[in-house]
Amino acid sequence: MVEQQNDESLVKHLAKQGIDDKMVMGHPASLFVLFFTEMWERFSYYGMRALLVTFLITEIADHGWEWTNAEAMELYGWYTGLVYATPLLGGMLADRLTGYKKAILLGALTMTLGHASMALEGFSQYFFYAGLGLMILGNGLFKPNISSMVGQLYPDNSSKKDAGYTIFYMGINAGAFLGSLLCGYIGEKIGWHYGFGLAGVFMFFGMLQFYFGQKIFGVIGDKPKTESEKMAYEKTNIGEEKVEELPANVVRDRLIVVSVLIVASIFFFLAFEQAGGSMTIFAKNYTQRVLEGSSAITFKWVDAILTLFPILIVTYVLTKLASKIIKQYPITIIFTTVSFISIAILGFWKIHREFTAIETEVTVAWFQILNAFFIVTLASSFSKFWEKIWNPSGPVKFALGLILVGVGFLALSYGSMSIPQGAATASVSMVWLILAYFFHTTGELCVSPVGLSYMSKLSPKKFIGLIFGFWFLASAIANKLAGWSGGLIDKITEMYSMSTFFVIIAALPISAALLLLLFSPALKKMMHGIN
């Protein structure tokens, strides 16, 4: 009965916004248009991120730039930091001037041009830097606004809203997985500019399928309304319900908890974002990636399954969407179908190429698919664990996440103990990197979705946008610090050891976790009933 009432309220909400009321797997078809648009954007971002540091530190003889690790990490830190800082400006621009739809399209076009520019890096380094700049600006326009559109597809009281965001999150991880896998493979095995360019091709497909399907969103994402229209919109969606005024002391206490969690997130992402930096350096120079005998055969089969599985799953979702909207939005479905046929062809080509290759060499970028793979396989288990077995307070969950990301680096520290002091290369088992990514992902599931939830629950309604802005700003700071700290890998390895470097990285989030656990009883009281 509750489910039926919820469906009725959702249908009414869609009608009020002029949104197509066709449903796919119990959710608005429009959600899946956003799903594929975001998937291709994440494909482009993570495909490029998987290549960036590896390309910069690769020898000139292999068409890289032969930068030092410290130089590469500095650029990586600036790039990823600005990627998370510009959404603040992109959200403000969309709110005041363009609306979400135009901001998304402009951002997608800008990122496509960025990839095209990076693909021309062989002609001049200026194309590479211009491409990075365009990627940063495009991401700022795209990222905050597509997430906002997802939330507006549902009424505030809809129990399907969280599930809608979960589906959207799966699109993010499917894109991250395929981008790291295919762009990384083609960039390393065929040519860097092909990898950079491929990411842009699918960003372009994502832009086109969104452009030709944008009417499915009704008025959501259109240009900002006048003040009178905004008031009417709020009455339509919120009714006459007034937001409860909370005592000033309660608001202050909750904002203190929000601030503590935001600062704690910096320690988490400082460690977590080593994935594209020092962990990439470790994968390239210190990990045994050339496999032989049964190890090579096992890897080929595992890699083949990992390549095909997400393609099959997302193709199934596309088939469901096409059956509902192909008559109204044929061009959207055509572009999405062409993109998936292209991805499938690339996937089968990659598998065939590896099975017929004389030597089996794991790409550096391959390890970055593990985070997305573990998220997809573990997310539902974590959700059920919090719901049915143990559901501690937000600060305790954060502490657990910080400890887990630290444990991942302790695993790397243990695995790298055999590396001599100051060694430039080594051949450590890839098991340690796989273990590290496993622990990092379990930590992410304790911090990232939990953090977003608590930002929403603890913040006063009128400050939610600002608080989320600070959350992303913290990620920007963490990414910049990740680049700086990762750049110390050579210096610490020369003075002490590679194992010591990873212990230091592990110590930062674990120390923050211990402080959170110490103050968690007080923080729980300051949340005043929010759990």
Neighbouring C-beta atoms of residue 14, cutoff 10 Å:
22
Measure the CA–CA gap between 310 and 43, rounded to whole angstroms: 13
Which of 272, 277, 288 shows the shortest CA–CA distance to 442? Answer: 272
Measure the CA–CA gap between 481 and 78, rounded to whole angstroms: 9
Tokens 């809809």, located at residue: 158
Q: Using alpha carbons only, give the angle 279, 183, 118 rounded to the nearest 5 degrees.
A: 95
Q: How much is the pLDDT for 225?
A: 65
Residue ranges of the chain whose pLDDT lies below 70: 1-6, 156-159, 162, 224-244, 465
DSSP state of 97: I
Q: How much is the pLDDT for 244?
A: 59
Neighbouring C-beta atoms of residue 462, cutoff 10 Å:
8
Measure the CA–CA gap between 423 and 504, rounded to whole angstroms: 18
What is the CATH number assigned to the segment(s) 24-225+291-361? 1.20.1250.20
**Residue 259 dihedral angles phi and psi, to the nearest 5°:** -60, -40
Q: How much is the pLDDT for 383?
A: 79
Q: How much is the pLDDT for 455?
A: 83
Measure the CA–CA gap between 15 and 149, rounded to whole angstroms: 16
Q: Using alpha carbons only, give the angle 447, 81, 31 rounded to the nearest 5 degrees.
A: 60
Does residue 306 contact residue 373 with C-beta atoms inside 8 Å? yes
Strands 360-361 and 290-291: antiparallel
Q: How much is the pLDDT for 2?
A: 42
Measure the CA–CA gap between 455 and 443, rounded to whole angstroms: 18
Which of 438, 456, 380, 368 shows the shortest CA–CA distance to 170? Answer: 380
Q: How much is the pLDDT for 448?
A: 87
Q: How much is the pLDDT for 25?
A: 87
Q: How much is the pLDDT for 451?
A: 86
Q: How much is the pLDDT for 102?
A: 93
Which of 393, 2, 340 shows the shortest CA–CA distance to 182? Answer: 340
Measure the CA–CA gap between 481 and 490, rounded to whole angstroms: 16
DSSP state of 287: B
Kindly list the domain boundaries of the chain, sorted by start residue. Answer: 24-225+291-361, 248-289+370-530
DSSP state of 366: G
| Helix pair angle (100-119, 125-152), 10° resolution | 150
Tokens 């059956």, located at residue: 323
Q: How much is the pLDDT for 156?
A: 66
Shared fold status for 24-225+291-361 and 248-289+370-530: yes
Tell which CATH architecture fits domain 248-289+370-530. Up-down Bundle (1.20)
Contacts of 162 by beta carbon, 8 Å cutoff, 6+ apart: none
Does residue 50 contact residue 368 with C-beta atoms inside 8 Å? yes
Does residue 347 contact residue 307 with C-beta atoms inside 8 Å? yes
Which of 69, 301, 56 shows the shortest CA–CA distance to 187? Answer: 56
Measure the CA–CA gap between 511 and 58, rounded to whole angstroms: 35
Tokens of 140: 């700022």
Measure the CA–CA gap between 452 and 474, rounded to whole angstroms: 13
Contacts of 33 by beta carbon, 8 Å cutoff, 6+ apart: 209, 210, 213, 216, 217, 321, 329, 332
